[in-house]
Amino acid sequence: MRVYDIIEKKRDNKNLNEEEIKYIIKEYVSGKIPDYQMSAFLMAVYFNGMNEEECFNFAKSMLNSGEKMDLTSIPGIKVDKHSTGGVGDKTTLIVVPIVAACGVKVAKMSGRGLGYTGGTVDKLESIPGVNVSLSMEKFFEIVKSIGCSVVSQTGNLVPADKKIYALRDVTATVESKPLVASSIMSKKIASGADCILLDVKTGKGAFMKTLDDAVELSKIMVKIGKNFGRKVMAVITDMNSPLGNAVGNSLEVWESCEVLKGGGPEDLKKVSVYLAANMLYMAEKGTLEDCITLANEVINNGKAYEKFKEMISAQGGDLSSFDNFETLGKDDVCYEIISEKEGYVSSIDAEKLGKASMILGVGRLKKEDSIDYKAGIILYKKIGDKVEKGDVLAALYSSKTEKCKCAEEIIKEAVVLSHEKVKVAPLIHAKVTDQGVEKF
Ligand code: URA
């Protein structure tokens, strides 16, 4: 077999068989195929796509490039969730304890933020003492005793994706649905859960800018999961504007705790409860309505927040910082953005807000960059809100006032006011299962 022939075949829009896909991935991971040939292949896939069988074989070959987690020693149905990423998306911090408080186990591996979208691991690490690099034994022990644990990717899971993703990142081939789908699903299958809920974001602050694209990506992922014998469902949620009011690591932990305690922003609560309920539904805890009730119950009776605190303690986190969050959780510099005019908020560009948060120190441009856990943005106005001249639109937290001044310009551009009150767009757009697509 020659890699040249495989590239040529995909360039000419022909379908690849399992052996050809296996070959190109295996030989690339072992270093026998150079980056320039893999880049040409990825670009051919970007333009010509892959059919269902090719996507499955691509995901399978990536999966087989490394170790797989075996969760069978943990009793019961295990559920997992994955978000395609967004600004202010802290739902994992809320959903995992809700689901565990309802008696369903979650053994979750999460990622770090890269670029303007955040990552759960960074958010957890903003809590003093939290260890996200637990040994496999400790991770399993916590899931068995408490019901949930969130760690960074351990072991040698899907090394092919690490290498291919890094190449896609620098060859403008990230935004290819078959490549995104096989990248995400190979990692989710390797993580071992029985049921996988995918939160596919759509809108200005997401990879998938349109609902049609998000639906198409969801369908591919659901099919890959089904072929591996897992229960997979995708919920398509809005990422035109940020979720909740907080953007930034410790600020998002604090806001998640507010939701777990029964308060917090309505949009964040609604999406989190819906995601948690669908995970419970997949774990056969009842009808979707029953599961929504269950999820709300554990918030209202304090069990979800207790579960979160148990998990944080078990992972070495210092819970006393939660009691002093107002003073300990934010950077010293607080800079308010004041509105110069009146009107109604008609849009908040999530991507721009994410970029402004990077200036404040929230994220990293390169993997090696360090981040400022206490930096971030609190929005005081959301879409549909009335704004008077002189009102505070947002508070910025950073280590330096100059950083806030730079971010201010972008945030002023991101928050658009109109004369008329606009209708708030739906938060949950659609649901995709192996039975079909349901649009809301
Ligand atoms: N997230 C992933 O894990 N892979 C992609 O290709 C895109 C987003």
Count Cβ neighbours within 10 Å for each residue of 109-142 and write b for 16 or more, e otherwise.
Answer: bbbbbbebbbbbbbbbbbbeebebebeeebbbeb
The predicted pLDDT at position 310 comes to 96
- With beta carbons less than 8 A apart as the criterion, state whether 123 and 249 touch: yes
CATH superfamily of 333-418: Pyrimidine nucleoside phosphorylase-like, C-terminal domain (3.90.1170.30)
Location of each CATH 3.90.1170.30 domain in the chain? 333-418
Please report which confidence band the pLDDT of residue 169 belongs to, taking 50, 70 and 90 as the band edges: confident
183 lines ligand 1 (CB under 6 A): yes
114 lines ligand 1 (CB under 6 A): no
- With beta carbons less than 8 A apart as the criterion, state whether 271 and 243 touch: yes
CATH architecture of the domain covering 78-322+429-439: 3-Layer(aba) Sandwich (3.40)
Task: Give every strand in the sheet of 415-418, ordered side by side.
Answer: 386-387, 343-348, 415-418
180 lines ligand 1 (CB under 6 A): yes
The predicted pLDDT at position 423 comes to 87
Location of each CATH 3.40.1030.10 domain in the chain? 78-322+429-439
Token pair in block for residue 75? 């009793």
Active site residues per annotation: 82, 161, 168, 183, 187
Share of the chain above pLDDT 90, in %: 82
CA distance 355 to 363: 9
The CATH class that applies to domain 3-49 reads mainly alpha
HSE of 103, CA atoms in CB hemisphere, 13 A: 9
The reported pTM is: 0.92
Task: Give every strand in the sheet of 246-247, ordered side by side.
Answer: 246-247, 376-379, 392-398, 333-338
Candidates 174, 177, 158; CA nearest to 166 is 174
User: CA–CA distance from 419 to each of 43, 391, 411, 426, 433 (Å)?
Assistant: 45, 16, 19, 21, 41
pLDDT tens-digit map of 133-151: 999 899 999 999 999 999 9
Q: How many CB atoms lie within 10 A of CB 240?
A: 19
Candidates 313, 307, 71; CA nearest to 196 is 71
Atom from ligand 1 closest to the CA of residue 165: 6
Location of each CATH 1.20.970.10 domain in the chain? 3-49
pLDDT tens-digit map of 16-43: 999 999 999 999 999 999 999 999 999 9
Distance (angstroms) between ligand 1 centre and the Cα of 180 equals 5
184 lines ligand 1 (CB under 6 A): yes
CA distance 282 to 280: 5
245 lines ligand 1 (CB under 6 A): no
pLDDT tens-digit map of 408-421: 999 999 999 999 99
Residue 319 has pLDDT above 90, yes or no: no
Q: How many residues are listed for the chain in this entry?
A: 440
pLDDT tens-digit map of 198-254: 999 999 888 898 999 999 999 999 999 999 999 999 999 999 889 999 999 999 999
Distance (angstroms) between ligand 1 centre and the Cα of 263 equals 32
Atom from ligand 1 closest to the CA of residue 174: 6
The predicted pLDDT at position 325 comes to 67
